[in-house]
């Protein structure tokens, strides 16, 4: 059985206009699309597709339905096969379960989330506990008084086991609380509330059902924002904060504004920009755009003009593929960007300068692709032929995803020829000779590799401090948007990445972190020992150290393992003796997993890159087939790793 949840996800991931356009020529009239009905013979178009409702209707033969109905009708499929067909098309993996049970579960979890939101809200509005008082003054200090708190159902999470106790008294089981991710098992095995001493922002689905929470810490501390992990209800790449509230205005104005935080979204709405939504600790994804495209013709991505913001914006440009360029009539969305002054967020700007100042910024929005092109030329050296040639290449790379479109060639003609002083036909032939873009990752969340930022190299002698920041750096790389969201506050530390002879970057820092965790935390030793076998250690000494530790008696004290480690890897003495002195929030097991997966992710990417280079040379031979298989296997592992990474609560290292 396919769960209702999956049926809903697949439906939401499918754009009916896009789907119908595969077989019917559609023309846009106002907000709807019209074509000749595929179910009866006709000369004039009486078949209508409505992108907002995602329904079709024929005024001639009265056929009508949704995406599933369309596939069942046109391809003569059963419902379940239509779901599988569209899931495949949307790259969604179905989790086939026991029907009624899963539907019942979804309903239970929705009830549980609603009860949690109500509880948090009461804590904020009614209790006199010091924490609730602090939460109220935090909010009122940001111009969010009782009225706003009620409108947005803001709350306060006291923590401990208070929510758990409340939910149990309402008849919810511990298992349900865990499944909804409002309760966690602590490292001692005892359950506790996931959110504590935080201002709570409920996140709703399109229909206004609460499916997740974001919690903001009230005082200083990390992480600044903590979001629900992925659950049966919540898929962050497919969810936009406040879309339930914003969709009506987005439809009527035709424009959606995308920002990055809860408080920014609320401030925007309060200032009259009720067409604002926010991503939830991820970069903008293709699923987000598809979702917005149902209501909006234009999406303005409003971001902080600091370096991290600029990079996030440029990465969003990768979402623009041929099927969303202006000439792609069926699924097109005009994606624009507007840049805030560096270090400013929308809420601050609105508070300090008012809505008019924000409007000025929105009015200067420009097409994202144009922006990405300009950014690629920003640091170019245009004084030498070499510099211009490098600049041309990097600018053309931006356009590769839309190669073959008129848009790409017009950007080359209009922007690059004049700015770089290159010959149009030479630029075009270089463009056509460039490697096709890599298979794009569906979530655009790949994050910049450490290689993008690794400028320096650090020897294994680097201090413990450097290793700590290396880990942070890599977290920032793993998901820049997440890191920007959590706002670690720590400056960009020195990276401990070392460029090996092949030019591929290996992350030494993470390997050290894992070794130290193994030594200091008995509870994660079994977990790590399994991981140690999978890791391609960057030096033989580290490999034998890992092997020696895995083979040692896991019950040994940290001191004994230190002594063993020093014997096994004497040149790592400085790293080992500095030890693990950092305090971190979250659970040690999650922390270990996070490091493990991040390290493996980096290594896999490097291995895939190398295998692809090898494959390019071997493609025709039988050896090529093996390499191809190897790449496929590694990509599969990479996908699994990323899924697991996404499940681990974000924490500050």
Footprint on this chain of Zn ion (rule: CB under 5 A): 37, 39-40, 58, 60-61
| Cβ nearer to Zn ion, comparing 61 with 129 | 61
Return d(Cα 476, Cα 447) in angstroms, integer.
Answer: 8
| Cβ nearer to Zn ion, comparing 73 with 644 | 73
**Minimal distance in Å, beta carbon 594 to Zn ion?**
54
Cα–Cα distances in angstroms (integers) from residue 502 to residues 14, 540, 606, 611, 631, in the given order: 42, 17, 10, 12, 18
Burial class from Cβ neighbours inside 10 Å (0-12, 13-18, 19+) for residue 147 reads: exposed
- Which value, in Å, is the radius of gyration of the alpha carbons in the chain? 26
| Distance of alpha carbon 477 from the chain centroid | 12
**Minimal distance in Å, beta carbon 38 to Zn ion?**
8
| Cβ nearer to Zn ion, comparing 58 with 257 | 58
| Distance of alpha carbon 516 from the chain centroid | 29
**Minimal distance in Å, beta carbon 46 to Zn ion?**
7
Tally of CB atoms within 10 A around 543: 16
**Minimal distance in Å, beta carbon 6 to Zn ion?**
30
**Minimal distance in Å, beta carbon 39 to Zn ion?**
5
**Minimal distance in Å, beta carbon 330 to Zn ion?**
20
| Cβ nearer to Zn ion, comparing 48 with 247 | 48
| Cβ nearer to Zn ion, comparing 22 with 175 | 22
Strands, DSSP E only, in 445-508?
497-499, 505-507
| Cβ nearer to Zn ion, comparing 16 with 508 | 16
| Cβ nearer to Zn ion, comparing 37 with 83 | 37
| Cβ nearer to Zn ion, comparing 31 with 40 | 40
**Minimal distance in Å, beta carbon 82 to Zn ion?**
19
Instruction: Give the strands of the sheet with 276-278, arranged side by side.
Output: 276-278, 255-259, 298-304, 334-340, 366-367
Query: How does strand 47-50 pair with strand 32-35?
Result: antiparallel
Kindly provide the b/e burial profile for residues 386-404, where b requires at least 16 CB atoms within 10 angstroms of the residue's own CB: eebeebbeebbebbbbbbe
| Cβ nearer to Zn ion, comparing 42 with 348 | 42
Return d(Cα 317, Cα 152) in angstroms, integer.
Answer: 31
| Cβ nearer to Zn ion, comparing 39 with 196 | 39
**Minimal distance in Å, beta carbon 56 to Zn ion?**
10
Find out whether 466 and 458 touch, Cβ atoms under 8 Å.
yes
**Minimal distance in Å, beta carbon 83 to Zn ion?**
24
Find out whether 59 and 49 touch, Cβ atoms under 8 Å.
no
| Cβ nearer to Zn ion, comparing 40 with 438 | 40
Q: Which of 19, 11, 77, 87 is nearest to 49 (CA)?
A: 19
**Minimal distance in Å, beta carbon 47 to Zn ion?**
6
Cα–Cα distances in angstroms (integers) from residue 25 to residues 33, 35, 90, 257, 296, in the given order: 9, 6, 21, 31, 22
| Distance of alpha carbon 164 from the chain centroid | 29
**Minimal distance in Å, beta carbon 40 to Zn ion?**
4
Cα–Cα distances in angstroms (integers) from residue 482 to residues 181, 320, 486, 590, 604, in the given order: 19, 22, 6, 16, 21
């Amino acid at each position: 059985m396919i769960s209702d949840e999956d049926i809903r996800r697949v439906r939401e991931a499918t754009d009916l206009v896009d789907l119908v356009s595969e077989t019917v020529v559609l023309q846009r009239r106002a907000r709807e699309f019209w074509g000749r009905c595929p179910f009866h013979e006709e000369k004039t178009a009486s078949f209508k597709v409505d992108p907002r409702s995602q329904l079709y209707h024929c005024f001639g033969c009265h056929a009508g339905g949704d995406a599933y109905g369309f596939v069942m009708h046109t391809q003569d499929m059963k419902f379940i096969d239509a779901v599988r067909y569209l899931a495949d098309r949307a790259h969604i993996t179905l989790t086939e379960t026991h029907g009624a049970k899963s539907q019942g579960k979804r309903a239970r979890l929705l009830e549980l989330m609603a009860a949690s939101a109500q509880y948090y809200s009461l804590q904020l509005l009614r209790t006199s506990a010091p924490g609730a008082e602090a939460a109220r003054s935090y909010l009122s200090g940001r111009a969010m008084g009782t009225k706003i708190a009620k409108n947005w159902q803001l709350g306060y999470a006291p923590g401990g086991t208070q929510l758990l106790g409340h939910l149990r008294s309402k008849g919810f089981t511990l298992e349900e609380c865990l499944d909804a991710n409002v309760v966690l098992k602590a490292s001692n095995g005892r359950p506790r509330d996931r959110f504590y001493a935080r201002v709570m922002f409920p996140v709703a689905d399109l229909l206004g059902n609460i499916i997740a929470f974001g919690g903001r810490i009230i005082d200083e501390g990390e992480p600044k924002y903590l979001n629900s992990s992925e659950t049966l209800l919540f898929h962050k790449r497919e969810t936009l904060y406040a879309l339930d509230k914003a969709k009506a205005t987005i439809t009527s104005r035709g424009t959606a504004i995308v920002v990055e935080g809860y408080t920014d979204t609320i401030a925007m709405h309060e200032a009259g920009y009720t067409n604002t939504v926010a991503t939830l600790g991820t970069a903008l994804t293709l699923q987000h755009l598809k979702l917005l495209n149902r209501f909006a013709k234009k999406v303005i991505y409003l971001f902080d003009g600091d370096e991290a913001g600029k990079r996030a914006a440029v990465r969003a440009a990768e979402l623009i593929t041929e099927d969303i360029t202006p000439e792609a009539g069926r699924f097109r969305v005009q994606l624009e960007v507007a840049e805030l002054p560096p270090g400013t967020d929308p809420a601050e700007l609105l508070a300090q300068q008012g809505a008019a100042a924000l409007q000025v910024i929105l009015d200067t929005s420009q097409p994202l692709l144009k922006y990405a092109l300009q950014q690629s030329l920003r640091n170019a050296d245009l004084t030498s032929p070499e510099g211009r040639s490098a600049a041309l290449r990097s600018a053309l790379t931006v356009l590769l995803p839309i190669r073959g479109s008129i848009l790409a060639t017009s950007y080359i003609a209009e922007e690059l020829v004049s700015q770089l002083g290159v010959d149009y036909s030479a630029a075009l032939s270089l463009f056509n000779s460039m490697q096709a873009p890599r298979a794009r990752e569906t979530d655009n969340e790949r994050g910049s590799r450490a290689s993008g930022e690794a400028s320096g190299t650090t020897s294994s002698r680097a201090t413990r401090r450097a290793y700590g920041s290396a880990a942070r750096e890599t977290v920032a790389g793993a998901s820049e948007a997440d890191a920007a969201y959590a706002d670690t506050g720590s400056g960009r530390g020195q990276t401990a990445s070392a460029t090996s002879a092949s030019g591929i970057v290996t992350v030494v820092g993470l390997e050290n972190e894992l070794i130290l965790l193994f030594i200091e935390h008995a509870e994660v030793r079994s977990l790590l020992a399994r991981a140690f076998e999978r890791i391609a250690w960057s030096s033989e000494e580290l490999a034998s150290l890992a092997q020696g530790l895995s083979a040692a008696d896991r019950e040994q004290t940290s001191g004994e393992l230190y002594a063993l480690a020093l014997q096994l890897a004497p040149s790592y003495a400085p790293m080992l003796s500095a030890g693990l002195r950092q305090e971190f929030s979250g659970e040690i097991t999650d922390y270990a997993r996070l490091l493990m997966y991040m390290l493996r992710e980096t290594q896999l990417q490097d291995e895939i890159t190398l295998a692809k280079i090898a494959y390019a040379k071997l493609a025709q031979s039988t050896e090529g087939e093996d390499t191809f298989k190897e790449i496929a296997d590694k990509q599969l592992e990479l996908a699994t790793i990323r899924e697991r990474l996404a499940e681990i609560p974000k924490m500050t290292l």
